Protein backbone atom coordinates (compact mmCIF):
# COMPACT_ATOMS: atom_id res chain seq x y z
CA UNK A 1 0.00 0.00 0.00
CA UNK A 2 1.20 3.47 -0.81
CA UNK A 3 -0.66 6.72 -0.17
CA UNK A 4 0.81 10.16 -0.78
CA UNK A 5 -0.58 13.38 0.64
CA UNK A 6 0.77 16.88 0.38
CA UNK A 7 3.33 16.27 3.17
CA UNK A 8 3.22 12.56 3.99
CA UNK A 9 3.72 9.09 2.58
CA UNK A 10 1.79 6.20 4.13
CA UNK A 11 3.33 2.87 3.22
CA UNK A 12 3.53 -0.76 4.26
CA UNK A 13 5.52 -1.47 7.40
CA UNK A 14 9.14 -2.42 6.86
CA UNK A 15 11.34 -4.38 9.25
CA UNK A 16 13.58 -1.36 9.84
CA UNK A 17 10.59 0.65 11.13
CA UNK A 18 11.02 -1.09 14.47
CA UNK A 19 13.92 1.24 15.33
CA UNK A 20 12.11 4.60 14.98
CA UNK A 21 8.95 3.16 16.57
CA UNK A 22 10.95 1.98 19.61
CA UNK A 23 12.69 5.37 19.78
CA UNK A 24 9.29 7.13 19.75
CA UNK A 25 8.09 4.96 22.64
CA UNK A 26 11.25 5.41 24.72
CA UNK A 27 9.98 8.71 26.15
CA UNK A 28 6.80 7.08 27.51
CA UNK A 29 4.49 9.08 25.24
CA UNK A 30 3.05 5.93 23.62
CA UNK A 31 2.29 4.02 26.85
CA UNK A 32 -1.47 4.43 26.37
CA UNK A 33 -1.37 2.41 23.17
CA UNK A 34 0.75 -0.37 24.65
CA UNK A 35 4.15 0.79 23.40
CA UNK A 36 6.05 1.10 26.68
CA UNK A 37 9.59 2.36 27.22
CA UNK A 38 10.90 -1.21 26.92
CA UNK A 39 9.18 -2.02 23.64
CA UNK A 40 12.54 -2.16 21.88
CA UNK A 41 12.84 -5.70 23.25
CA UNK A 42 9.66 -6.85 21.51
CA UNK A 43 9.15 -4.36 18.67
CA UNK A 44 10.69 -6.68 16.04
CA UNK A 45 8.02 -9.29 16.84
CA UNK A 46 5.25 -6.67 16.70
CA UNK A 47 6.42 -5.40 13.29
CA UNK A 48 6.69 -8.97 11.94
CA UNK A 49 3.17 -9.82 13.16
CA UNK A 50 1.75 -6.55 11.82
CA UNK A 51 3.33 -7.25 8.42
CA UNK A 52 1.69 -10.72 8.36
CA UNK A 53 -1.72 -9.30 9.28
CA UNK A 54 -1.38 -6.65 6.58
CA UNK A 55 -0.76 -9.40 4.02
CA UNK A 56 -4.03 -11.05 5.10
CA UNK A 57 -5.62 -7.63 4.52
CA UNK A 58 -8.83 -8.22 6.48
CA UNK A 59 -10.06 -5.14 8.40
CA UNK A 60 -13.02 -7.14 9.73
CA UNK A 61 -10.70 -9.45 11.62
CA UNK A 62 -7.22 -8.01 12.05
CA UNK A 63 -5.03 -5.09 13.01
CA UNK A 64 -3.70 -3.36 9.89
CA UNK A 65 -0.82 -0.97 10.53
CA UNK A 66 1.05 1.24 8.10
CA UNK A 67 4.03 3.56 8.51
CA UNK A 68 3.67 7.33 8.15
CA UNK A 69 6.74 9.17 6.84
CA UNK A 70 7.51 12.74 5.89
CA UNK A 71 7.32 13.00 2.12
CA UNK A 72 10.33 15.28 1.72
CA UNK A 73 12.76 13.39 3.97
CA UNK A 74 11.43 9.85 4.47
CA UNK A 75 11.63 10.27 8.26
CA UNK A 76 9.25 7.91 10.09
CA UNK A 77 6.84 10.01 12.17
CA UNK A 78 4.17 7.50 13.19
CA UNK A 79 1.63 4.93 12.12
CA UNK A 80 -1.97 4.78 10.91
CA UNK A 81 -4.33 1.91 10.17
CA UNK A 82 -7.27 0.11 11.67
CA UNK A 83 -8.09 -2.58 14.18
CA UNK A 84 -11.06 -4.85 14.58
CA UNK A 85 -12.68 -4.51 18.02
CA UNK A 86 -13.98 -8.00 18.86
CA UNK A 87 -15.97 -6.68 21.83
CA UNK A 88 -17.71 -3.98 19.76
CA UNK A 89 -17.77 -5.91 16.46
CA UNK A 90 -16.53 -2.76 14.71
CA UNK A 91 -13.45 -1.65 12.81
CA UNK A 92 -11.75 1.35 14.39
CA UNK A 93 -9.11 3.81 13.26
CA UNK A 94 -5.70 3.48 14.91
CA UNK A 95 -2.84 5.94 14.78
CA UNK A 96 0.08 7.37 16.69
CA UNK A 97 2.67 10.04 16.10
CA UNK A 98 5.97 10.31 17.89
CA UNK A 99 5.92 13.12 20.47
CA UNK A 100 8.30 15.36 18.50
CA UNK A 101 6.07 15.10 15.40
CA UNK A 102 2.83 16.14 17.09
CA UNK A 103 1.06 19.49 16.71
CA UNK A 104 1.95 19.68 13.01
CA UNK A 105 -1.33 18.30 11.64
CA UNK A 106 0.36 15.06 10.55
CA UNK A 107 -2.03 12.81 12.48
CA UNK A 108 -5.16 14.40 10.99
CA UNK A 109 -3.62 14.34 7.52
CA UNK A 110 -2.71 10.65 7.86
CA UNK A 111 -6.11 9.70 9.31
CA UNK A 112 -8.00 11.50 6.54
CA UNK A 113 -5.86 9.86 3.85
CA UNK A 114 -6.26 6.42 5.41
CA UNK A 115 -10.05 6.80 5.71
CA UNK A 116 -10.26 7.72 2.02
CA UNK A 117 -8.15 4.64 1.17
CA UNK A 118 -10.16 2.43 3.54
CA UNK A 119 -13.59 3.26 2.12
CA UNK A 120 -12.26 2.99 -1.45
CA UNK A 121 -10.73 -0.45 -0.91
CA UNK A 122 -12.91 -2.34 1.55
CA UNK A 123 -16.59 -3.22 1.57
CA UNK A 124 -17.06 -1.69 5.01
CA UNK A 125 -19.49 1.17 5.44
CA UNK A 126 -18.56 2.48 8.88
CA UNK A 127 -15.45 3.04 10.97
CA UNK A 128 -15.32 4.03 14.61
CA UNK A 129 -12.84 5.85 16.81
CA UNK A 130 -12.56 5.32 20.55
CA UNK A 131 -10.68 8.06 22.37
CA UNK A 132 -10.16 8.56 26.09
CA UNK A 133 -12.03 11.66 27.16
CA UNK A 134 -8.91 13.29 28.63
CA UNK A 135 -6.95 12.80 25.38
CA UNK A 136 -8.03 16.12 23.89
CA UNK A 137 -5.36 16.12 21.16
CA UNK A 138 -6.52 12.75 19.88
CA UNK A 139 -10.18 13.58 19.80
CA UNK A 140 -9.35 16.78 17.95
CA UNK A 141 -7.58 14.64 15.34
CA UNK A 142 -10.63 12.47 14.69
CA UNK A 143 -12.92 15.49 14.67
CA UNK A 144 -10.68 17.17 12.06
CA UNK A 145 -11.03 13.97 10.03
CA UNK A 146 -14.84 14.43 10.21
CA UNK A 147 -15.64 11.64 12.63
CA UNK A 148 -18.89 12.39 14.44
CA UNK A 149 -19.20 12.05 18.22
CA UNK A 150 -21.91 9.48 18.96
CA UNK A 151 -21.57 9.00 22.72
CA UNK A 152 -19.43 9.20 25.83
CA UNK A 153 -19.34 6.18 28.09
CA UNK A 154 -17.15 4.15 30.37
CA UNK A 155 -15.20 1.52 28.45
CA UNK A 156 -12.24 -0.77 29.04
CA UNK A 157 -9.99 -0.80 25.99
CA UNK A 158 -7.48 -3.58 25.42
CA UNK A 159 -4.62 -1.62 27.07
CA UNK A 160 -6.66 -0.30 30.00
CA UNK A 161 -6.44 -1.70 33.52
CA UNK A 162 -9.95 -0.50 34.33
CA UNK A 163 -12.89 1.24 32.70
CA UNK A 164 -12.20 4.81 31.63
CA UNK A 165 -14.42 7.52 30.17
CA UNK A 166 -14.25 7.32 26.37
CA UNK A 167 -15.59 9.34 23.50
CA UNK A 168 -17.02 7.16 20.72
CA UNK A 169 -16.99 8.49 17.17
CA UNK A 170 -18.03 7.16 13.78
CA UNK A 171 -17.57 7.98 10.14
CA UNK A 172 -19.46 6.31 7.32
CA UNK A 173 -18.80 5.76 3.66
CA UNK A 174 -20.06 8.76 1.77
CA UNK A 175 -19.45 11.21 4.64
CA UNK A 176 -17.50 14.24 3.57
CA UNK A 177 -14.13 13.10 4.89
CA UNK A 178 -12.50 15.37 2.30
CA UNK A 179 -9.05 15.14 0.81
CA UNK A 180 -6.08 14.68 3.12
CA UNK A 181 -4.37 17.57 1.36
CA UNK A 182 -6.65 19.96 3.26
CA UNK A 183 -4.07 19.91 6.08
Q: Give me the sheet containing 76-85, strands edge to edge.
A: 2-4, 8-12, 63-70, 76-85, 90-97, 126-132, 164-172, 148-155
Residue 128 CB coordination number (10 Å): 18
Provide the 8-state DSSP code for 31: G
Q: Rounded CA gap, 140 and 147, in Å? A: 10
What are 134-181's pLDDT values in tens digits?
A: 989 999 999 999 999 999 999 988 777 899 999 999 999 876 555 544
Segment 42-89, tens digit of pLDDT: 667 878 888 899 899 999 999 899 999 999 999 999 999 999 999 999
- Domains plus CATH for the chain? 2-182 (3.40.630.30)
pLDDT of residue 44: 76
* Contact between 98 and 29 (Cβ < 8 Å): yes
pLDDT of res. 158? 76
Amino acid sequence: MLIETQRLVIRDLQTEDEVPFAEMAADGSLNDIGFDEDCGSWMAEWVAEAKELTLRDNPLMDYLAYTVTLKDSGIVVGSVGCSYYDDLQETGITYFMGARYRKNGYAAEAVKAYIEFFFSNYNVHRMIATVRDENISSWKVVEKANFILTEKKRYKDINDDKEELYRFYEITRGNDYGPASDY
